[in-house]
Amino acid sequence: MSRKPAFAVAALSLSLLAQGVLAAEEQFFPIPSYRVGPYGANGQSFYGGFIDYLNYVNLKEKGVNGVQLTWEECETEYNNAKGVECYERLKGKAAKSSGPIHTMSTGISYALIDKTAQDKLPLAMMGYGRTDAVDGSVFPYAFPLVTTYQMQASAVVRFVKDKLGGNLAGKKIVYLYHDSAYGKEAIVAMEAEAALNKFALVQIPVAHPGNEQGAQWLRIRQEKPDFVVFWGWGVMNQTALKAAQKVGYPRDKMVGSWWTGSEEDVIPAGDAARGYMAATWNVAGKQVPVIADIEKVVYGAGKGNLQDRSKIGSVLYNRGVSAAVLSVEALRRGQEKFGKGRALTGEQTRWALENLDISEARLKQIGATDLLPEIRTSCANHEGSGKVKIQQWDGAKWGPVSGWIEGNKALIHPLFQASAKQYAKEKGITPRDCSKEK
């Protein structure tokens, strides 16, 4: 055998091996997304931002330490049954390597919480989902990251308190909420805050879908509250703003949850939305360096995910980027422990999400200041932050009107622990000992 063919065979083998290695070093993201159906407009912006950032990391840095990011979307239409179907379809691919799964749906998250734990795949629920999963000793694979409905409500009350001169005693706050699990989640926090701060709390539910709120707003007019804390969803948001205008209630005395604070929530209400405020954990706009750079790098390369580029910089687009930033930072954290340049399994990503430490300095370094608050997670705290900002709609754009506000952790977190304990009892789960987790 001459040397030439032997060399060729060796080169070919090496090349195939290299390809094999490269194929193995791909980090897969299962993405059960929604871009059509009732809430398709929200999903388009969020998942557009999410995928654009993954592409950005691939284009700019050639992946995370050389590990290319790959993904597959499956359309859920914000439907729980379809969400589960998508998960079942994608989990096979995720068995080898998996980034955090973002469903952007509390209902789908609830449906997947047991399944993901069984399949050892990490479920991220940024600002939504099952909130007692903050207690990671009971929910090792579920992560209600950044903020929960309860901590958010507490932060909103803190903001209102500041607005009303630092004292809520004797004041009246109306809690106007979507009459669903989502709307009811924050009641316990509002009641705890009312007891602590001695303000009168008036709870007014709105039946789904909330496209008619005449009676509720006439009642609000009668109650003459100092502020309205608003937990709306979908069409309920615009209807509330229009109804507030109709009864003459000032919009700058309304603060909503983050589900009520995107362009999609206020533009249909027209002028009625001017002055309205809502919680958020990411600012809107292209002034955030990484957002501007995504437009340049990703859309410049013709690889942008959005058909409608005007959505770049919107609240929900930036939130999608925010979720992707957090996910990619988790991969970096995981690779520090499990080996740089290696794709992470679901179990390893879970560890990474539980050991996140994203500082302001790091956010600045990657150009993501104000896309996320600082986050430090642990086994006992899967939320990692609990901070939000309040933003205000000026008729054309959202702008922040507060710094980071943290909910009252001492008041709220024990509520999660009690609820998680109850869940563990019902399901026969033995909680992990968080002091032994590293």
Partner 1 sequence: MNFFFEVLIGGLLSGVMYALVALGFVMIYKASGVFNFAQGAMVYLAALAVVGCMEMGAPLWLAVILAFAIMTLFGIATEKFVLRKLVNQPPIALFMATIGLAFFIEGLAPLLFGSQPRALDLGIVDEPIAWVLDNWNMVISKFDLVAAAVASLLVATLALFFQYTRVGRALRAVADDHQAALSIGIPLQHIWAIVWGVAGFVALVAGMMWGARNGVQFALTFTALKALPVLILGGFTSVPGAIVGGLIIGASEKLAEIYIPPVLQDLFGGSFGGIEGWFPYVLALLFLLVRPEGLFGEKHIDRV
**Site residues (CB under 8 A) for partner 1?**
36-41, 44, 179, 187, 203-209, 211-212, 214-216, 218-219, 221-222, 234-235, 238-239, 242, 245-248, 264, 267-270, 272, 308
Q: Name which of 178 and 387 has its Cβ closer to partner 1.
A: 178
- Closest contact distance (angstroms) between CB of 33 and partner 1 is 14
Q: Least Å distance between CB 243 and partner 1?
A: 8
Which of residues 13 and 211 has its CB atom nearest to partner 1 in the complex? 211
Q: Select 242 or 397, whichever has its Cβ closest to partner 1.
A: 242
Task: Using the minimum distance from each CB to partner 1, give the nearer residue, 205 or 289.
Answer: 205
Q: How far is the CB of 165 from partner 1 (least distance, A)?
A: 29
Q: Which is nearer to partner 1, 194 or 358 (CB)?
A: 194
CA dihedral 359, 361, 363, 368 (to 10 degrees): 150
With respect to partner 1, which residue has the nearer C-beta, 120 or 242? 242
The pair phi, psi for residue 355, each rounded to 5°, is: -125, 35
Complex with partner 1: residue 114 or 308, whichever CB lies closer: 308
Nearest distance in Å: CB 147, partner 1: 24
Candidates 127, 78, 132; CA nearest to 105 is 78
Shortest Cβ 45–partner 1 spacing (Å): 9
Distance of closest approach, residue 216 Cβ to partner 1, in angstroms:
7
- Closer to partner 1 at the Cβ: 38 or 92? 38
Minimum Å gap between C-beta 221 and partner 1 is 7
CB nearer partner 1, residue 246 or residue 286: 246
Give least dist CB 264 to partner 1, A.
5
Nearest residue to 372 via CA among 121, 207, 127 = 127
Name the minimum Å distance from CB 269 to partner 1: 6
How far is CA 168 from its chain centroid?
30
The least distance separating partner 1 from the CB of residue 240, rounded to whole angstroms, comes to 10
Nearer to partner 1, 58 or 203 (CB): 203
In this structure, the strands spanning 387-393 and 277-280 are antiparallel
